[in-house]
Homo-oligomer: A and B are copies of this chain.
Amino acid sequence: MYPLMVSEEAAAKRGRRRGAELESAILRAAQEELAESGYAGLTMDRVARRAGTNKNAIYRRWPNRAALAVAAYRRLATDRLPPPDTGELREDVLTLLRGVNCGPSSPQAEILRGLLAGIGDEPELLAQLHELAAEGGAGVWLTVVGRAVARGEAPPEALHPRVVTVAVALLRNEYITRGLSTVPDGVLVEIVDEVYLPLLRGRAPVR
């Protein structure tokens, strides 16, 4: 009877959703819009339509578009993999980088750029985003490098937050300035072999 209906819209017809259920539907819709069209393509009307509701329901929960987008991005970004453990630092690092590069939220770069630009100056959202972007990670990286240190592949001085996150910082810089959603694998290898591993291994002998 409703042939052109998206799942959420159909669901809406089976009674009126309230509270958490509706909130979750909105967030899921926003998340999908974000993944498909990036921040620029996320409009309140479209999210509302996709969730089978209307803008009011959204504005009752989030004060503006940026807040909704950040909330949706959290759900995109927080499903994360456990740190790899191949027994070799280089492989672990490449695996991690490749995970970030072609992760679950594919157009990472565009979304992130869009969000950062759209948020502008709201410090609360900025803080949330920083937490997600700047690290779902120091932890993971410390783990991986920590194991390498235990194996003797790197000196203990390597275990510095600024140092262990260099690889992902360079990767992020790469796709941010190039505007590509995905960086060629050769670039990852270059970052690892020319910068990251020499940095980790070389820190002790030098001083």
Interface residues of chain A, those whose CB is within 8 Å of chain B, are: 38-40, 110, 113-114, 116-121, 126, 129-130, 133-134, 160, 162-163, 166, 169-170, 172-174, 176-179, 190-191, 194-195, 198-199, 201-203, 205-207
Complex interface: chain B residues within 8 A of A133 (CB): 177
State the oligomeric state as a number of copies. Answer: 2
Residues A178 and B134 in contact, CB atoms below 8 Å apart: yes
Tell me, rounded to whole Å, the shortest Cβ–Cβ distance linking A179 to chain B: 4
CA distance A189 to B129 in the complex (A): 25
On whether the beta carbons of A162 and B191 are closer than 8 Å, the reply is yes
Residues of the B chain whose Cβ atoms lie less than 8 Å from the Cβ of A134 = 177-178
What secondary structure prevails in chain A residues at the interface with B?
A: helix
Docked-complex contact B130 and A179, CB < 8 angstroms: yes
How far apart sit A207 and B160, CA to CA, in the bound complex (Å)? 22
Q: Out of B39, B40, B120, B194, name the residue touching A40 (CB < 8 Å).
A: B120
A160: shortest Cβ distance to chain B, in Å? 6
A181 (CB) vs chain B CBs: closest residue:
B121
Q: Which of B38, B120, B129, B198 contacts A206 (CB 8 A)?
A: B198
